[in-house]
Amino acid sequence: MSLLDRLQAFSQKHAISENNSVTPLSAVTKQLYSPTEGEVNGKPAILLGTNNYLGLTFDNACTEAGKKAIDQYGTGTTGSRLANGSYDGHKSLEQDLAEFYGVDHAVVFSTGYTANLGMISALVGHGDTIMLDEHCHASIYDGCKLSGANIIHFRHNNAADLEKRLRRLGDEIANTLIIVEGIYSMLGDRGNLKDICEVKQRYDALLMVDEAHSLGVLGGSGRGLAQESGVEALVDFTTGTFSKSLAGIGGFCVSHHPELEVIRYTSRPYIFTASPSPATIATTKQALAIISSRPQLREQLWKNAHQLYAGLAELGYELSPEISPVIAVNANTQENAMSMWTQLFEQGVYVNMVLPPATPGSRCLLRCSLSAAHTSAQIERVILAFANLQELPMLKQQIA
């Protein structure tokens, strides 16, 4: 099969066609009215798939900081930090991140994807071992592949399975990195971090936790699952993104290990990617400060999550295993998913349709992500839209 034939086969399998009236890829947002509503393909819609957990995309302090940075520094850096040097904002944001997490070292990347890609490929290499939770994000998988290390998957959230596989390594354990997430992006479930940290301690491996979806969402001051679980001192490297609670784009890693600073000279994704724009840095600094100063946003986010989860559960949908700002509805088949997504869109509700291979266990999901900015009335409208869906085959139990 030629390269183009292969693409054509993929297109036919996944019903990618310009003849489809509306699909997630063809839908265009022309105008945003607020963090939770916009005009998509010419019609108003409640936005329920933005990962805008704290609703800060229109926060005045953030937008004003971004405008000021553009006026002062222009639109972009047009080069990497290793080649062009750092703007003062880059250094300032890294200091803010380190202080926020209570560590000494922080590195800012251009995206959350390159943060994982860059950290993993620089930390481990040929002859080393990565212990990887099977539900980890694609950016983590790609970082593992780029590293050239030996990759061993353990069953999702199963500390006993992790320990069994670590035990088999023997003396090779010294060169092992364990990777897990705070909140897993597809099903919205928390990582079993406390038990995993106990195993990590017994075997003296290094641990990296991706808090992309848990930053600003979990923990007493919003630092994520490690803070909520009381195990921050046992986490060696914490990665995350600016594109969720921080309402921008970019990524980071923080650590108490001074060796993190060496990453700047050894991580190819860091070295060869243009640094984040001044406006992105400025808005992110403001959003990070808001996480600390406005805990009521986190409280409202969880109220919204409980409301939507309860409403969808009452309708009999098969949902994520736990209440979270990420709520996945199982559609069972691609045809069901497309039908449900289209019907919701026609009712003015925009959710994420996620299909294999992006989903755990080859599920077909409608993924909803809540925001602190959603109103109770908007959530009731979403529940009503799900109630109005034409009857489709679906299970009544939670996703395993």
Provide the CATH number for the domain around residue 358: 3.90.1150.10
Q: Does residue 52 lie within any of the structural domains?
A: no
Which of these is catalytic: 147, 185, 245, 324? 185
Amino acid in the structure at residue 126: H
Q: Which residues contact 85 (CB under 8 A, 6 or more apart)?
A: none
Residue 173 and residue 313 share a domain = no
How many domains does the chain contain in total? 2
Q: Are 49 and 352 in contact (CB under 8 A)?
A: yes
Q: Does residue 3 lie within any of the structural domains?
A: no
Cα–Cα distance for residue pair 180/131, rounded to 1 Å: 9
Q: Does residue 282 lie within any of the structural domains?
A: yes
Of 249, 275, 293, which residue constitutes the final position of a domain?
Answer: 293
Residue 243 and residue 302 share a domain = no
Residue 306 and residue 164 share a domain = no
- Give the residue carrying structure tokens 């109005």: 388
Give me the pLDDT at residue 359, please: 86
pLDDT tens-digit profile of 124-144? Answer: 999 999 999 999 999 999 999
Residue 279 and residue 138 share a domain = yes
Residue 331 and residue 242 share a domain = no
Q: Does the bond joining 357 to the residue before it have cis omega, within 30 degrees of 0?
A: yes
Which of these is catalytic: 213, 255, 275, 371? 213
Q: Does residue 84 lie within any of the structural domains?
A: yes
Q: Would you give per-residue pLDDT tens digits along the chain (400 residues)?
A: 788 888 887 776 655 544 556 777 778 899 999 999 999 999 999 999 999 999 999 999 999 999 999 999 999 999 999 999 899 999 999 999 999 999 999 999 999 999 999 999 999 999 999 999 999 999 999 999 999 999 999 999 999 999 999 999 988 788 999 999 999 999 999 999 999 999 999 999 999 999 999 999 999 999 999 999 999 999 999 999 999 999 999 999 999 999 999 999 999 999 999 999 999 999 999 999 999 999 999 999 999 999 999 999 999 999 999 999 999 999 999 889 999 999 999 999 999 999 888 888 888 999 999 999 999 999 999 999 999 997 665 544 445 4
Beta strands in the chain (DSSP E): 29-32, 37-40, 43-47, 105-109, 129-133, 150-154, 176-181, 206-210, 237-241, 251-255, 326-330, 349-350, 352-354, 365-369
Annotated active-site residue 213? The verdict is yes
Residue 281 sits in a domain whose CATH number is: 3.40.640.10
Annotated active-site residue 292? The verdict is no
Residue 89 and residue 214 share a domain = yes
Which of these is catalytic: 105, 135, 137, 244? 244
Give me the pLDDT at residue 23, please: 76
Residue 183 and residue 74 share a domain = yes
pLDDT tens-digit profile of 65-114? Answer: 999 999 999 999 999 999 998 999 999 999 999 999 999 999 999 999 99
Residue 75 and residue 210 share a domain = yes
Domain housing 359: 10-47+294-387
Residue 286 and residue 240 share a domain = yes
Give me the pLDDT at residue 360, please: 85
Of 293, 315, 343, which residue constitutes the final position of a domain?
Answer: 293
Q: Does residue 397 lie within any of the structural domains?
A: no
Residue 288 and residue 306 share a domain = no
pLDDT tens-digit profile of 308-325? Answer: 999 999 999 999 999 999
Residue 349 and residue 248 share a domain = no
